[in-house]
């Protein structure tokens, strides 16, 4: 093998640094001459073993060449100290020894050495060992740096997602009392979901209530959800009659066509309650049925109209239905995130499993609905939901 056969390290971001710890100055000079012409390599020499740790901390070597026999402190003790040092524990240590002894070699590896060379080795072999061990250490540094950058990015992303979830929550209406008592429980999923809901009196007689669930998760889904909420809240859908649920869904279907919104669509339930006629007109689009529990009855009426989700196909027809609301009836509008969880045996909870949880009136107060979320969390044995948990309760006076 010729001198030109020694390859260079191409990664200049992490220069190769070699620290020799040896009490013999002539060895230090010999090694210096071996590596002097290698531009990819930085060399430093420590003659006093008691200064080795401090010099390694300062020089930050990618490999340490460690003499075995030295006055005051032996080389293997230093190797052990390197491996116990937070900054140096992963730096490869190559033991240099005058002995070709298997027992000494075995003890060197047992005490933390990464390699063993009989000094003075051939220059080509020494450079090859330095290159090999330094590349492994440099790759470790790069991997750790990448992991740290990823962790920092995840921390930043988690903060941004939390801000997005807080913003969506800030747009939700406050619980209200009156002819209709309304309260809700909402918990954003582990990322950011696309649930939103709202209710308001159009006039003295008519109350609208809606809940929508955008497909997928993330900031994009949340933005679309907020856009729909703003369009409904600001009545910015042209001349649509907000008292006609089917007309509202049809208009939203045209405005939020999925091809114009990053192929995202949403399911929705929309209803209008007239407090004098006590009629509830409603329509849905691919959404789970609203559940109407009449006073004294455990089984609910499922209020749903069959239709594809909003935005999936231009010109979709939407039907609406009407039902009568009596005093003390309870209506629940929700997203599928309230029940699409897994039991511990792997079986998925169904809507039929969920319905009995609402069969009896819930405790009053702000935490009354939260007991439902707590029950579902117990079923899946986790407080973290894979989808948004949105549950709105209307009690009619």
The pLDDT of residue 335 is above 90: yes
Give residue 9's pLDDT band: very low, low, confident or very high (50, 70, 90).
very low
**In the chain, where are the structural domains located?**
3-144, 172-396
62 versus 167: the higher-pLDDT residue is: 62
Per the prediction, the chain carries an average pLDDT of: 90
- The two domains 3-144 and 172-396 share their CATH topology (first three levels equal): no
Q: Which of 192, 185, 181 is nearest to 373 (CA)?
A: 185
pLDDT at 219: 77
388 versus 209: the higher-pLDDT residue is: 209
The pLDDT of residue 109 is above 90: yes
pLDDT at 11: 44
- DSSP assigned state of 229: H
336: left (phi over 0), alpha (psi -120 to 50) or beta: alpha
All residues at 6 or more sequence positions from 73 whose CB lies less than 8 Å from its CB, including other chains: 49, 50
Give residue 13's pLDDT band: very low, low, confident or very high (50, 70, 90).
low
The pLDDT of residue 192 is above 80: no
pLDDT at 3: 44
Give the whole-angstrom CA distance, residue 382 versus residue 262. 32
- % of the chain surpassing 70 pLDDT: 96
Residue 11 phi/psi, 5° resolution?
Answer: -85, 100
Give residue 190's pLDDT band: very low, low, confident or very high (50, 70, 90).
low
pLDDT at 331: 97
Q: Domain 172-396 maps to which CATH number in 3.30.70.260, 3.60.40.10, 3.30.360.10, 3.40.50.12780?
A: 3.60.40.10
376 versus 14: the higher-pLDDT residue is: 376
| DSSP annotation string for 284-345 | EESPPPEEEE-TT-SSPEEE----PPBTSSTT-----EEEE--TT-EEEEE-GGGT--B-TT
SS3 category, 97:
strand
Nearest-5° angle of CA 59, CA 143, CA 39? Answer: 45
| Count of CA atoms in the C-beta half-sphere (13 A) of 86 | 0
The pLDDT of residue 2 is above 70: no
The pLDDT of residue 7 is above 70: no
Q: What is the tens place of the pLDDT at every residue in 40-77?
A: 999 999 999 999 999 999 999 999 999 998 888 889 99
User: Mean pLDDT highest for which of 177-191, 229-243, 315-329?
Assistant: 315-329
The pLDDT of residue 147 is above 50: yes
All residues at 6 or more sequence positions from 115 whose CB lies less than 8 Å from its CB, including other chains: 92, 93, 94, 95, 129, 133
278: left (phi over 0), alpha (psi -120 to 50) or beta: left
pLDDT at 171: 82
Give the whole-angstrom CA distance, residue 8 versus residue 109. 27
The pLDDT of residue 1 is above 50: no
pTM above 0.85, yes or no: no
pLDDT at 233: 84
The pLDDT of residue 239 is above 90: no
Please tell me the class of the 3-144 domain. Answer: alpha beta
SS3 category, 346:
coil
Give the whole-angstrom CA distance, residue 231 versus residue 69. 80
């Amino acid at each position: 093998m010729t001198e030109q056969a020694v390859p260079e390290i191409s990664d200049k971001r992490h220069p190769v640094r070699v620290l020799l710890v040896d009490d013999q100055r002539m060895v230090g000079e010999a090694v210096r001459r071996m590596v002097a012409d290698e531009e990819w390599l930085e060399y430093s020499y420590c003659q006093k073993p008691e200064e080795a740790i401090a010099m390694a901390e300062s020089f930050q070597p990618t490999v340490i060449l460690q003499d075995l026999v030295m006055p005051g402190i032996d080389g293997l003790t230093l190797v052990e100290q390197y491996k116990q040092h937070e900054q140096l524990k992963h730096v490869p240590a190559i033991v240099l020894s005058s002995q070709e002894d298997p027992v000494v070699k075995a003890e060197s590896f047992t005490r933390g050495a990464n390699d063993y060379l009989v000094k003075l080795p051939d220059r080509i072999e020494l450079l090859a060992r330095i290159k090999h061990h330094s590349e492994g250490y440099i790759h470790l540094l790069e991997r750790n740096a990448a992991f740290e950058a990823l962790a920092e990015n995840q921390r930043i992303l988690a903060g941004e997602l939390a801000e997005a979830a807080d913003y969506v929550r800030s747009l939700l209406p406050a619980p209200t009392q009156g002819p209709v008592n309304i309260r809700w429980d909402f918990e954003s999923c582990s990322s950011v979901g696309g649930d939103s809901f709202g209710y308001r009196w159009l006039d003295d007689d008519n109350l609208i209530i809606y809940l929508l669930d955008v497909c997928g998760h993330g900031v994009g889904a949340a933005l679309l959800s907020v856009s729909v909420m703003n369009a409904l809240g600001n009545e910015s859908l042209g001349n649509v009659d907000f008292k006609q649920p089917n007309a509202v869904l049809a208009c939203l279907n045209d405005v939020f066509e999925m091809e114009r919104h990053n192929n995202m669509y949403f399911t929705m339930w929309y209803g209008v309650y007239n407090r004098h006629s006590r009629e509830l007109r409603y329509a849905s689009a691919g959404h789970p049925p609203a559940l109407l529990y009449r006073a004294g009855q455990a089984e609910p009426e499922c209020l749903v109209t069959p239709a594809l989700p909003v935005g999936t196909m231009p010109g979709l027809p939407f039907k609406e239905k009407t039902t009568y609301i009596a005093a003390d009836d309870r209506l629940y509008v929700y997203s599928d995130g309230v029940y699409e969880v897994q039991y511990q045996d792997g079986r998925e909870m169904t809507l039929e499993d969920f319905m009995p949880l609402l069969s009896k009136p819930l405790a009053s107060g702000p935490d009354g609905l939260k007991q439902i979320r707590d029950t579902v969390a117990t079923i899946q044995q986790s407080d973290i939901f894979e989808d948004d948990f949105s549950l709105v309760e209307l009690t009619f006076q």
